Amino acid sequence: VWNNVPAGPPDPILGITERFKADKSPLKINLGVGAYRDGSGKPYVLSAVKKAEEIIRASNPDHEYLPITGLPELTNAATVLAYGANSPHVKNGTISVTQSISGTGALRIGAAFLARFWPRGKVIYLPTPSWGNHQAIFQDAGFEVRQYRYLDSKTIGIDFEGLKSDLLGAEPGSIVLLHACAHNPTGVDPTEAQWRQISDLVKENQLYPFFDMAYQGFASGSTDRDAFAVRHFVSEGHQIALAQSFAKNMGLYGERVGAFSLTVADAEEKARIDSQLKIVIRPMYSNPPLHGARIASTILTNPELYAEWETEVKGMADRIINMRERLYDELTHTHKTPGEWGHIKSQIGMFSYTGLTPPQTSALAEKAHIYMTSFGRISMAGLNNSNIDYFAESVSKAVKG
């Protein structure tokens, strides 16, 4: 029956993990997957998460369905986390929000809602490069996906002139996807001054900003600082859409906790949009999962757990920043690796675009058992005190050829 179904290409990131698993060398390192690892290379369960689970267990919870838009304690707390407790939208209740199947689900709900109701066409601009799934998510929702320049491959920094000219030249009324912080895959973020300019030109060209915030807290260690772009846009009077994920900042990857929200004009508009979000979601998955939502909302609404969580997020961010500094020093000073490596330190968040080329990354896999995407993106979280010397030495050899 299924002769018409062609084999699709494997997922590029998951393919790396398969090759890593098949490698029997004790030296092997997996820098492909975007999940935090602790100082000994192990998955990390946050202490705030463990305590929240104890509180939940002690409350003897049932397993009834959640409402279509999820656990209200979670969605309220998620808007406070993103927009800030002092945001007029939070105070006035002018945010339409729903729980989502993590960040991917939030993007997918947003894409479906905008495809149905955005009045000015179905065009979205993504940065080049962007997280690989963005294109598929928006295409599957019926959008025409276009690009705006983002990474300057020569400096491995932001191509700000290219970005400005592409956003100014974009079709007015289009949607623009912005990574709120810790841009994936590059680790290159605009400065606050650059965000102010982006906000102005998004306004000037009447674009609609859709923020993807999958790493709040993970970039700088401060959830407030990482929300700068979102809050600045809102304070400048933009109406925005926002996808949030608790996968990285709470280590709740497989629990699939997130939120999708839209700022709206008033209570009457909110009521209309809330009703349509339910109509979008109901035939997709009816209602969201409960356990992760309970964990995240317990942490966000319990002051002691919240404080502990903030310390742990900062701990994760700091460990990554420390690995960036170590790697830079080893490459530049210990191994005198040809080239300029400052970008390793200036990039932010889970990922780094190293500038390694496909021949160099395949040499690293074959000769040194080190796995990363072919275009040289590494997950900094995969590095630790036990493997960073070997990694730097191997990179240096690959670059020297």
Q: What backbone torsions phi and psi does residue 36 show, to the nearest 5 degrees?
A: -65, 140
Least separation, in Å, of the C-beta of 351 and ligand PMP? 8
| HSE-CB of 281 using CA atoms within 13 angstroms | 26
Distance CA 377, CA 51 (A): 34
Kindly list the residues in this chain that would bind ligand PMP in the complex (CB under 6 A).
34, 102-104, 131, 179, 184, 212, 214, 245, 247, 253, 258
Does 336 participate in catalysis according to the annotation?
no
Judged by beta carbon, residue 33 or residue 331, the one nearer ligand PMP is: 33
Q: Are 170 and 206 in contact (CB under 8 A)?
A: no
Task: Tell me: cis bond preceding 185? Omega within 30 of 0 counts.
Answer: yes
Cβ partners under 8 Å of residue 361, min gap 6: 372, 373, 374, 375, 376, 398
CB of 150 to ligand PMP, least distance (A): 13
Decide if 227 contacts 65 (C-beta within 8 A): no
Cβ proximity to ligand PMP, 106 vs 170, nearer residue: 106
Sort 117 into a burial class: Cβ within 10 Å, 0-12 / 13-18 / 19+.
Answer: exposed
CB of 304 to ligand PMP, least distance (A): 26
Encoding tokens for residue 18?
A: 């398969």
Nearer to ligand PMP, 113 or 253 (CB): 253
> Of 166, 212, 226, 309, which residue is the catalytic one?
212
Q: Which is nearer to ligand PMP, 121 or 132 (CB)?
A: 132
To the query of whether residue 195 is one of the catalytic residues in this protein, the response is: no
Instruction: Using the minimum distance from each CB to ligand PMP, give the nearer residue, 182 or 392.
Output: 182
Does residue 318 have an active-site annotation?
A: no
Shortest Cβ distance from residue 322 to ligand PMP (Å)? 22
Distance, CA of 93 to CA of 89 (rounded, Å): 6
Contact partners, residue 226, CB within 8 Å, separation at least 6: 180, 181, 182, 213, 215, 216, 217, 218, 219, 220
Q: Which residue has the tokens 């690892």?
A: 37
> In this structure, are strands 257-263 and 241-245 parallel, antiparallel, or unpaired?
antiparallel
Identified catalytic residue from 248, 270, 309, 341: 248
Shortest reach from residue 134's CB to ligand PMP, in Å = 7
Nearer to ligand PMP, 104 or 394 (CB): 104
Beta carbon of residue 377, minimum distance to ligand PMP (angstroms, whole number): 11
Extract the tokens encoding 358. Answer: 């496909």
Q: Which residues are catalytic?
A: 131, 212, 248
